Chains A and B, each alone.
Chain A
Amino acid sequence: MSFNQWINSRLPISDFFDQHLRQYYAPKNLNFWYFFGSLAILCLSIQIISGIWLLMYYEPTAKTAFDSIEFMMREVPYGWLLRYVHAVGASSFFVILYFHLYRALMYGSYQRPRELLWLSGVLLLILAMAEAYTGYVLPWGQMSYWAAKVIMNIFGAIPFIGEPIMHLIQGDYVVSEVTLQRFFAFHVVAFPMILLAMVFLHLVALHTVGSNNPDGIEIKDNKGADGIPKDGVPFHPYFTIKDLVAAAAFLIIFFTIVFYNPTMDGLFLEKENFIPANPLVTPPEIKPSWYLAPYYAILRAVPNQLLGALAMISG
């Protein structure tokens, strides 16, 4: 009995991979739009690894948060690289997610039988936003502080119970170190765990209903005598190889940005966020990260606090 058999009869690792990679059939006509799912997993992995490394020097207090990050970037070997990878990684994650979402809309991948695949994806997007927002607060720069304040006041706009809820979330009557520390707990432990669990469910749903494709053909409706969809090819090696090419292309673009323009001229990291948080002065130009901009635009367009917040949430 080989070593693999010994393992597999106790813990079916290779059976699992066979079932979900070698014998998982994906439509043979998937085009480049189908890269973005695996790229999102790549982005998530980059965020988790760089995040663990950042945690080794980051100190979540109002006094030390900003300085600990500056220390990491100036004194710790490759600290600048890991910090910029994490910051650019956040924005890239949203670029990938929005392409992924656009693909689903374009090819109708939200339709029967993929409704729950779509809904779990929407939840994942909201979770990713919550993760990004709490993460943006952690450097405790000017933009961190005031963005935290604006979002907290959106909760405050809920009628009657708004103010107590806002105080409950921020743990203080204003945005303060208490808020910073609980956002730290959310960003580092709570949200990533939920996010990973949701990714798992998203993949379970995907492997149950199978990928949609540009022609909208259900490959499971046309199976050969061996029970294999005639219009499907095994995910491994065909799509793993294809996705690897996409990953290589993505990483080239990603690291070009990391090395040559990590703040993306203020789009990924606003220049105000290189100034420590000051509760007395709001920066003259305050805007959210680009990936939240459409929702923020809705909020600003409606001349009523509550209606604006409602329109933004429904958007």
Chain B
Amino acid sequence: MLILRMAMGNESVDLKKRAFLTRTSQALGAIAVCGAAIPLVQYLKPGREAAMSSLPVEFDLSGLKPGDQRTVLWRGKPIWVIRRTMEQVTALNKINPNLSDPNSQIEQQPEYAKNPYRSLRPDILVLVGLCTHLGCAPTFRPEPKAIDEDWDGGFFCSCHGSKFDLAGRVYKGVPAPTNLEVPPYYFKNDQLLVIGAHEA
């Protein structure tokens, strides 16, 4: 009842001491809450199983004819493998004024894909098949004039209308900010593609 008498207007209340005790308990309480939050937050992180799924995957190119597109799953994401025709490859060389980053200045590809084809081999294109706007999977539309009058073939995202050419380079005036991402990859031999790792 000592505290009670002090609270009832006794002159001897040491307000400084009381403020000190209040602040110390608040600080300790805050530390306790942070400590309790550690396991709760750590628990939410991707686990070891998720890390396992990031191992490289292999893809056999022998069945892929010029003009074909295949989709492979890597890290839960669609990876496109496309064998472009000779005409499509040569068309990539003339710089289209409607592209927003034609020379791949923005880091969206490994160093070896920083060329007009955005690929190791001019004919084989490997891309992460997710729009750089909000992550939808665009559609492969190689036929000219398929989307509009100026369409030379490429990828069209049906979610918000972003357009990319046959090297995954983004057009101007669409919501997507950057070119499509090129994942790390290399050729084990002529017919075997490894996605998810650089050449050792």
Partners in one complex: yes
Please give the residue numbers on chain A whose beta carbons come within 8 Å of chain B beta carbons, in ascending order. 28, 49, 53, 56, 75-79, 81-82, 233, 238, 244
Pick the residue among B3, B25, B39, B47 that contacts A75 (CB under 8 A): B47
Given contact pairs A75-B48, A75-B49, A77-B47, A28 touches B1 in the complex (Cβ within 8 A): yes
| Other contacts beyond A53-B40, A77-B45, A77-B47: 16, CB < 8 A | A28-B4, A53-B43, A56-B44, A75-B48, A76-B47, A77-B39, A77-B42, A77-B43, A78-B38, A78-B42, A78-B43, A79-B43, A81-B39, A82-B40, A238-B4, A244-B25
How many Å from the CB of A120 to the closest CB on chain B?
30
Chain A residue contacts of B42, Cβ below 8 A:
77-78
How many B residues touch the partner, as a band?
10 to 19
- The residue of chain B having its C-beta at the shortest distance from the C-beta of A81 within the complex is B39
Chain A residue contacts of B25, Cβ below 8 A:
244
Chain A residue contacts of B38, Cβ below 8 A:
78
Q: Is the CB of B40 within 8 A of A49?
A: yes
B26-59 interface (Cβ within 8 A of A): 38-40, 42-45, 47-49
Given contact pairs A28-B1, A28-B4, A56 touches B43 in the complex (Cβ within 8 A): yes
Chain B residue contacts of A78, Cβ below 8 A:
38-40, 42-43
Chain A residue contacts of B3, Cβ below 8 A:
238
Q: Is the CB of A76 within 8 A of B43?
A: yes
Q: Is the CB of A82 within 8 A of B47?
A: no
- The residue of chain A having its C-beta at the shortest distance from the C-beta of B25 within the complex is A244
13 contacts between A and B (CB under 8 A): A53-B40, A53-B43, A56-B44, A75-B49, A77-B43, A77-B45, A77-B47, A78-B38, A78-B40, A82-B43, A233-B4, A238-B3, A238-B4
How many Å from the CB of A189 to the closest CB on chain B?
21
How many Å from the CB of B133 to the closest CB on chain A?
29
B10-25 interface (Cβ within 8 A of A): 25
How many Å from the CB of B60 to the closest CB on chain A?
33
- The residue of chain B having its C-beta at the shortest distance from the C-beta of A234 within the complex is B7
Q: Interface code B96-119, partner A: CB below 8 Å = 1, 0 otherwise?
A: 000000000000000000000000
